[in-house]
Amino acid sequence: MTEQTAAADPVHAFIAQAVAEHDVVLFMKGTPDSPRCGFSSLAVQILDHVGAPFVGVDVLQDEALREGIKTFTDWPTIPQLYVKGEFVGGSDIVREMFQSGELQALMAEKGVALGEA
């Protein structure tokens, strides 16, 4: 995605800003305290378990955001996890990375301080 594309689309600009401003962002259905789908709940549980400080963005609050996040990454499903501006993947990828230790390694490599769950 180019800067020009983001500027032309306010939803993409919002997503780009959220990803730039926060080390770990989870675009999800619902909120971290009240996920509204099992996949979002799984991603929240994993992030909480590893102690990753993250911001949850509820895509159900805005249909344009719900569709825009899919076109931003060309990834068809929600949730979507970003670490230090890099798209990581959805709940299946996050689960696999967590189980193999790759998620924790990625967080450490990117300089995300993991706390205690």
Element (H, E) at 110: helix 102-110
β pairing state of 24-28 and 55-58: parallel
Is 23 known as a binding-site position?
no
User: 74: which DSSP letter?
Assistant: T
Length of the chain: 117
**CB-based contact 24:50 (threshold 8 Å):** no
How would you class 20 by CB atoms within 10 Å of its CB: exposed for 0-12, middle for 13-18, buried for 19 or more? exposed
Which residues participate in the annotated binding site for [2Fe-2S] cluster?
Answer: 37
Which residues participate in the annotated binding site?
Answer: 37
